[in-house]
Amino acid sequence: MSSEVQVGDYVTRRSYHHDIVFYVTGVDKQKGIAILKGLEWRLVADAPLDDLVKVEAQEIEKRLQLISAEEDELIQWIREEREQSQKKRAWMLTDDMQNDEGAFQFPGRVLHIDGDARYMKLCTRLYQQLRVPVYCYHIAEEDMPNVVRKLLKQVRPDILILTGHDAYKKNGDTKDLDSYKNSRYFIEAVREARRWEKQKDNLVIFAGACQSFFEALLEAGANFASSPKRIHIHAEDPAYIAEKVSYCSVRETINIMEMVKRTVAGIEGIGGIETRGCFRMGVPITPEIERGFTFS
């Protein structure tokens, strides 16, 4: 029953044919509405209590296990693809330099700023599994423009991720910034980042969340953004974008179609412009590098 919905419950919406599973973050009994966040998708919404249907814990557990299995399969595929390309690059580098000491890896460094703490933790775990050097910060979307330059100076990343939650108003004007919940903050943060580093290959930026103002984000200076068709993007999609940029060779431009294959949203949810990768290899491997020396 809708009257039984409480904070922490998992629910779907009848009016949207139960398309997305949410968890309840707030309930206003006087207004008869609940505040919802997507379990898998970067979406915040409110809904009438009588529109909600609770999802049993067992069903959520099955869903999470399926998601985990699919993620493990994708991670394994990414690792295998990366290993093959890196072996080829390492052989070319050491052969060219006639060096028998082997090559070391220098992936691009990521600064990930996320408006949702739970999604940030999911992405952090993914970065760790894929060995992406990253600094993660949970900051509300409206505060991102005020802190992004400070964090850029502090971290000095190759890649900047600006994400969290967004939403496009039903029957809104796609060209009107007021039709979007948080796009203006992502846009302002991108502009601030570009004031710090203008060159798009020196600082690669992904910005946006569910249904964000794709065209305006690119115009502001993002290399990649959501959402071309104003659809939802998955909680971990920004991390998959960052991983591809981090491990794509500086000698190459990123194959955008290949990159979006790693995401759940696909080309309708994420797009961008031609961009060079951030991954570098070096020789020789010294004892300090073998022990895990971190480049400043």
pLDDT tens-digit readout, 70-94: 777 778 777 877 777 766 665 555 5
% of the chain with per-residue pLDDT over 90: 55
Identify the pLDDT of residue 296: 55
| pLDDT at residue 205 is higher than 90 | yes
Identify the pLDDT of residue 143: 98
Query: How many secondary structure helices (H) and strands (E) does the chain include?
Result: 8, 13
Identify the pLDDT of residue 87: 64
| pLDDT at residue 243 is higher than 90 | yes
Are 130 and 81 contacting, i.e. CB atoms less than 8 angstroms apart?
Answer: no
Measured over the CA atoms of residue 156, residue 225, residue 70 and residue 9, the dihedral's sign is: positive
Identify the pLDDT of residue 91: 56
Which of 12-26, 166-180, 279-293 is predicted with the least confidence, judged by mean pLDDT? 279-293
Q: Are strands 110-114 and 104-106 parallel, antiparallel or unpaired?
A: unpaired
Segment (H or E) for 220: helix 214-220
Identify the pLDDT of residue 98: 46
SS3 253: strand
- Residue 61: pLDDT band (50, 70, 90) is confident
| pLDDT at residue 250 is higher than 80 | yes
Which of 20-29, 31-40, 72-81, 132-141 is predicted with the least confidence, judged by mean pLDDT? 72-81
Across all residues in the chain, what is the average pLDDT? 87
| pLDDT at residue 17 is higher than 90 | no
Rounded mean pLDDT, 283-287: 78
SS3 249: strand
| pLDDT at residue 254 is higher than 70 | yes
Place of tokens 């290899």: 281
- Give the residue, 181 or 284, on which the prediction is more confident: 181
Span 93-143, pLDDT tens digits: 555 544 555 677 889 999 999 999 989 999 999 999 999 999 999 999 999
Are 120 and 138 contacting, i.e. CB atoms less than 8 angstroms apart?
Answer: yes
Identify the pLDDT of residue 214: 97
pTM score, two decimals?
0.84
Residue type, 63: R
Identify the pLDDT of residue 1: 41
State how far Cα 94 lies from the chain centre: 34
Q: What is the CA radius of gyration of the chain?
A: 21
- Residue 219: pLDDT band (50, 70, 90) is very high
| pLDDT at residue 259 is higher than 80 | yes
Segment (H or E) for 104: strand 104-106
Identify the pLDDT of residue 19: 82
Identify the pLDDT of residue 69: 74
